[in-house]
Amino acid sequence: MNRFASGALVLSVAVLAASCSRKPDSAPLKPTAFGAVIVESSGGKQITQTGTLLPQPVVVQVNDEQGAAVTGALVEFAAAPGVTFDPASALTDSSGQVTTNVALGGMAGRYQITVSTLDKTHKKVELKIEEIALGYQQTLGRRLNDQYCERCHNPESTVERVSNYDNLEVKPHPFTEGETLNKFSDTDLTAIITYGGPALNKSALMPAWGNTLKKSDVQALIAYIRAVSDPPSRSAGPVYAKN
Amino acid sequence: MKDKLSSLWQKLFGDSVRAFGVISLVFLASMAIAPAKNFFSEWRHYQHGYLSMIRNRSEANTLRRHFQGGIQQIWLPELGVVDRCTSCHVGLKEATLTDVAQQPYRKHPVIPHNLDQFGCTVCHRGQGAATTVAEAHSSTLAWEQPILPAKFVESSCGQCHRGPLPGTPQLNLGRNLLSRSGCVHCHTVRLADGRTMKATDDPPPLSHIADKTSREWIYAWLKDPQAYAVTSTMPNFKLTDDDARDISAFLIANSTPVSGDSITLSAKASSDPTAGASLYGESFCASCHAVQNAAGNIVGGDVGPELTRIGSKVKPAWLQAWVRNPRVYDPPTAMPHYRFSDAQVATLTGFLLAKADSDLLTNVHLDAATPEQIAHGKRLVSDYGCASCHEIAGIKKPENFAPELSRIGSKPITQLIFLTGMPQTLPDYIAGKIKQPRAFAPGLKMPQYTFAPAQIDALTTALLSLNDRSYSLPPSLAVAAPPESDYQPAGRAGKLMTDLACFSCHRINGHGGDMAPDLTWEGSSVQREWLVQFFKNPGTLRPALIRRMPKFNLTDGEVSELTDYMMTVYQSPAVDRDSMPLSGYSPGQIELGKQLFYGKYSCQGCHIVDTKTDKGYIGPTLTHVGSRLTAAWIYQWMKNPQALRPGAIEPNRALNDEDARALTAFLMSQKGGGKQEAAKK
């Protein structure tokens, strides 16, 4: 009787182990090398809609003490629940880099991605990267920004959209300029957008949009401005989305 | 044993008082089960959690006053909604809870709808009547609609909103891709408003393909379309070598020549890359066609096919005929008939033919086709439904070639066959089918597309919106799509406009592209003489634009035909061209307008009037505006730009009559050259 029970126990453990090992990611990646620091190559501070993929992948690089790229170091990505990584962990390639596609969670706000690797003493080395997820209202605001505001307020030019920023005598504030814009209350921003710069004794080069944009449009724009400001604005809601 | 039992019986039910007491206790205990279950229920736990969370907030009293305990329910009979979600999601409507990140207490993000009018499950799916988290959010045996992942939530907007919405880029993109990527050539999509989704791509006809290209190129293309052009939208049918050989044999054998489809020019194809590149640039070919540059970047538009390896594809005589007049080979093509001279045709074709990739066809060696191969190729063309997209002589466009997708967003999970290891939900199934259609069963015909992950999510969003609810909706909730227009201009001018493919870029009366300005009221807007000069030599009005009107080498007769038609027909009832003079405004009024321009309205932020001082780069340059626009148009534009051209980005300043008149006077004085100088003094 006793022997039968122990046999069954062994069998069930074996079945359990076998069923676990069939999972694709159960074989953990084994690092073949260890670095000293992780640096961001590209993909930080991107903006996307809640739940969707970032337009560009996040690329990080592991370097050793001398700053040379390390191949074969294990890099792991982690963030609040709801954020998905493809892949969530990988070994650095021949140029010391790991590329992952990131989809942000369902809550609007800022997401902090923690990228980690182990150094030679098996201590964790971390890098924090920040991404921004826009909800419905902020997405609407982004569209209005792209249509009406960005040509002057974004100093960067692309082939498709040449920036007018440099042509203006009084420089507009880029919407990421949190240090300035966070000081304006929602009421102030509404007044400037609706009645133009002179409403707050600012330049007339900022026209009045009150007849072009609806009230809800202006609110959406402000929600967008708050969402992308750097440093983050408190009125944008939770600074780091926890899902 | 028996003794023990009987003594226990004796103890409990020995006399009637004892029996009564025991039975009362048992009753009491069993009656406590229901209240206990209620007391320990999940929603009560969350409501307690909410109350303790708000206790320390400054606005606790307000929140407590709003709080209603017990099961909450939103009941909307006409939508079939019984949603008890607000029993746990207590703070959904609390405006002050924006800083709360903890679920289920977060405030609902701002949306244009009232939660009490639409409930929760109309947008989020899930089981509304459930009162436990697992039953409400996940699929159970009796309920297979789990909560919709956030990335697909825009699909729910599409149930009622049949047209594009500014707040739903993902849904708009998905619907666009359904029409543009050829999905609806094979899959019928009937919409709830009675329309059938139309394809907006234009796959080339194959009835005369032998004029255009070689059998070797067709073979290589069929094997891997993206090897020829990475931006190609043709999917990969994963054909075997033999099948590709036979289809190419059939297409060539089936092709009939078109007269005038290939020409040999008297001028020799030029090998001068500088002249070719500059003609390619001047003609703004890149507005529609892309080329992959040395760095691997795709540069140019996506209206026409990518031209990176065009020299390896087309026959030189066909290309010359095509560049001279594309309408001979493909009458409805979006490509304009440029009216190039023979020398220009030679220069441009020489430039394009040099864009070749010698590796593309090196390994393709095909023996002459046998009749069996051609017959087999014809069968394959029918089997794979090639004629769903391409016009092929002798093969009828198949009807209902692929499953109809009109209600795919409500497809029961029990009818789906999932891949092993795949999450068993409808969105995952749809996305999986788009990602790797052939993996789901052997012998499936749907080809492999090259969608990016974000495009697959967008397509899935659009397909999920095609569901039962979009049909069962109360008609008052449906928001119609903007009406589609098939406007065609009449007469000889209309023919000319079709020949020049004006509608590939311009929109008139709701029909046409959006690359170039809307011309619906062009006749009210511009002066005739300016339009004549513009057709003859189109300059640019907006210096920052990379896409511009090409020069079509029109004859004087064609120019006056077009100008007369546009000046007569494209007139806005809101603008009386003759109500205001083109010149003769008083210097005082002009000066006042100038002050308003540079001061109160600061128009120089976006426009240039004086090239020495103004730098505005967004709106059109206004140095010659007095010779270009009519005064009545400028006046009405000042009062409300969007009334004349919906979507114009100039802010509506709602000018009063006096300011509008003064600014009109100032702008009409800007006639370019010497007169401009005079006006400034």
Per DSSP, helices labelled H in B509-604 are 522-525, 528-536, 556-569, 587-598
Number of CB pairs, chain A paired with chain B, less than 8 A apart: 112
Nearest of A191, A181, A185 to residue A225 by alpha carbon: A181
* Inside any domain, residue B178: yes
The superfamily CATH assigns to domain A37-134 is Immunoglobulins (2.60.40.10)
* Together in a domain, B447 and B307: no
CATH number assigned to the domain comprising residue B213: 1.10.760.10
Q: Please check whether residue B466 is in contact with residue B485, taking contact to mean a CB–CB distance below 8 angstroms.
A: no
* Inside any domain, residue B384: no
Q: What are the phi and psi torsion angles at B243 (to 5°)?
A: -65, -40
**B35-85: per-residue pLDDT in tens?**
888 888 889 999 999 999 888 888 888 999 999 888 999 999 989 899 999
Chain-chain contact of B151 with A105 (C-beta, under 8 angstroms): no
* Inside any domain, residue B486: no
Chain-chain contact of B150 with A50 (C-beta, under 8 angstroms): yes
CA–CA gap between residue A228 and residue A218 (Å, rounded): 16
- Tokens 């074996």 belong to residue: A14
CA–CA gap between residue B385 and residue B375 (Å, rounded): 16
- The residues, any chain, with a CB within 8 Å of residue A19's CB and separated by 6 or more, are none
Domain boundary among B528, B549, B569: B569
* Together in a domain, B501 and B421: no
Shortest distance between the Cα of A202 and any Cα of chain B, in A, equals: 12
CA–CA gap between residue A230 and residue A210 (Å, rounded): 27
Neighboring chain B residues of A162 at a CB cutoff of 8 Å: 544, 617
* Together in a domain, B505 and B413: no
| Chain mean position to CA B167 | 13
CA–CA gap between residue B264 and residue B268 (Å, rounded): 9
**pLDDT of B101 higher than 90:** no
Q: How many independent structural domains does chain B possess?
A: 6
Measured between CA atoms, the residue of chain A closest to residue B109 is A135
Nearest neighbour of B605 by CB, restricted to A205, A241, A242: A205
* Together in a domain, B270 and B353: yes
Chain-chain contact of B454 with A164 (C-beta, under 8 angstroms): no
The average pLDDT across B26-35 equals 90
Q: In DSSP terms, which residues pair with B300 in a beta bridge? A: B290
* Confidence (pLDDT) at B106: 87
Shortest distance between the Cα of A95 and any Cα of chain B, in A, equals: 19
* Confidence (pLDDT) at B131: 87
**pLDDT of B444 higher than 60:** yes
CA–CA gap between residue B633 and residue B530 (Å, rounded): 15
For residue B345, the one-letter residue type is: V
* Together in a domain, B254 and B364: yes
* Together in a domain, B67 and B109: yes
**What are B's interface residues with A at a Cβ cutoff of 8 A?**
98-103, 106, 109-112, 149-153, 166-167, 169-170, 421, 453-454, 457, 544, 546, 599-602, 605-606, 615-618, 640, 642, 649, 651-654
Structure-token pair, residue B258: 């078109």
* Confidence (pLDDT) at A4: 52
Nearest of A161, A141, A143 to residue A151 by alpha carbon: A161
Chain-chain contact of B110 with A52 (C-beta, under 8 angstroms): no
* Together in a domain, B140 and B283: no
CA–CA gap between residue B301 and residue B231 (Å, rounded): 11
Chain-chain contact of A140 with B167 (C-beta, under 8 angstroms): yes
* Together in a domain, B181 and B227: no
* Together in a domain, B238 and B370: yes
Q: DSSP state, A177? A: B
* Inside any domain, residue B387: no
* Confidence (pLDDT) at A238: 57
**B594-614: per-residue pLDDT in tens?**
999 999 999 999 999 998 888
- Tokens 């002179």 belong to residue: A198
Q: What is the pTM of this model?
A: 0.88
Torsion sign (Cα): B324, B329, B332, B334: negative
Chain-chain contact of A237 with B110 (C-beta, under 8 angstroms): no
CA–CA gap between residue B324 and residue B638 (Å, rounded): 43
Please provide the DSSP assignment of B581-639 as one string: -SS---HHHHHHHHHHHHTTS-GGGT--SSTTT----SS---TTHHHHB-HHHHHHHHH
Per-residue confidence of chain A (243 residues) as pLDDT tens digits?
Answer: 455 555 554 545 444 444 444 444 456 788 888 989 999 999 999 999 998 999 999 999 999 988 899 999 999 999 988 899 989 999 999 999 999 999 998 888 889 999 999 988 889 999 999 999 999 999 999 999 999 999 999 999 887 788 899 889 999 999 999 899 999 999 999 999 999 999 999 999 999 999 999 999 999 999 999 999 988 887 655 556 654
| Structural domain spans, chain A | 37-134, 136-236
Give burial (CB, 10 Å; 0-12/13-18/19+) of B601: buried
CATH number assigned to the domain comprising residue B162: 2.60.40.420
Q: What are the phi and psi torsion angles at B501 (to 5°)?
A: 55, 40
For residue B654, the one-letter residue type is: A
**pLDDT of B123 higher than 60:** yes
**B292-313: per-residue pLDDT in tens?**
988 888 988 889 999 999 999 9
CA–CA gap between residue B607 and residue A152 (Å, rounded): 13
* Confidence (pLDDT) at B678: 39
For residue B295, the one-letter residue type is: A
Q: Please check whether residue B589 is in contact with residue B655, taking contact to mean a CB–CB distance below 8 angstroms.
A: no
Nearest of B387, B345, B366, B92 to residue B216 by alpha carbon: B366
- Tokens 């059109």 belong to residue: B620
Chain-chain contact of A241 with B101 (C-beta, under 8 angstroms): yes
* Together in a domain, B675 and B612: yes
User: CA-CA distances (angstroms) from residue B569 to B5, B49, B462, B520?
Assistant: 106, 69, 39, 9
pLDDT bin (cut points 50, 70, 90) of residue B10 is confident
**pLDDT of B497 higher than 50:** yes
* Together in a domain, B272 and B237: yes
* Inside any domain, residue B392: no
In chain A, beta strands by DSSP E: 37-42, 47-49, 58-63, 74-78, 84-86, 89-91, 97-103, 109-118, 124-134
Shortest distance between the Cα of A87 and any Cα of chain B, in A, equals: 14
Per DSSP, helices labelled H in chain A are 2-21, 136-144, 150-153, 178-181, 186-195, 215-228
| Mean model confidence pLDDT for chain B | 90
* Confidence (pLDDT) at B456: 95
Q: Please check whether residue B649 is in contact with residue B616, taking contact to mean a CB–CB distance below 8 angstroms.
A: no
The average pLDDT across B321-335 equals 92
**pLDDT of B675 higher than 60:** no
Domain boundary among B477, B503, B523: B477
pLDDT bin (cut points 50, 70, 90) of residue B229 is very high
Neighboring chain B residues of A55 at a CB cutoff of 8 Å: 454
Nearest of A104, A83, A135, A178 to residue B106 by alpha carbon: A135
The average pLDDT across B123-149 equals 86
* Inside any domain, residue B268: yes
* Confidence (pLDDT) at A241: 60
Measured between CA atoms, the residue of chain B closest to residue A233 is B99
* Together in a domain, B416 and B498: no
pLDDT bin (cut points 50, 70, 90) of residue B400 is confident
Domain that holds residue B127: 42-147
- Tokens 């697909």 belong to residue: B152
Is the Cβ of A52 closer than 8 Å to some Cβ of chain B? Answer: yes
For an interface test with B, give the residue of A140, A157, A203 to mutate (most B CBs within 10 A). A140
Chain-chain contact of B616 with A243 (C-beta, under 8 angstroms): no
Structure-token pair, residue B313: 């594809």
The superfamily CATH assigns to domain A136-236 is Cytochrome c-like domain (1.10.760.10)
Beta-carbon count within 10 A of B432 CB: 19
pLDDT above 70 as % of chain B: 97
ipTM over 0.95: no
**pLDDT of B583 higher than 50:** yes
Count the residues in chain A.
243
CA–CA gap between residue A149 and residue B606 (Å, rounded): 12
Shortest distance between the Cα of B642 and any Cα of chain A, in A, equals: 8
* Confidence (pLDDT) at B449: 95
Provide the Cα torsion A179, A181, A185, A191; round to 10°: 160
Taking a contact as any Cβ pair under 8 Å apart, which residues of chain A between 129 and 168 contact chain B? 135-137, 139-140, 143-144, 147-148, 151-152, 159-162, 164, 166-168
For an interface test with B, give the residue of A83, A168, A213, A235 to mutate (most B CBs within 10 A). A168
CA–CA gap between residue A82 and residue A243 (Å, rounded): 7
CA–CA gap between residue B79 and residue B76 (Å, rounded): 6
* Inside any domain, residue B340: yes
Nearest of A87, A81, A116 to residue A102 by alpha carbon: A87
Shortest distance between the Cα of A227 and any Cα of chain B, in A, equals: 13
- The residues, any chain, with a CB within 8 Å of residue B315's CB and separated by 6 or more, are B211, B212, B213, B214, B262
* Inside any domain, residue B609: yes
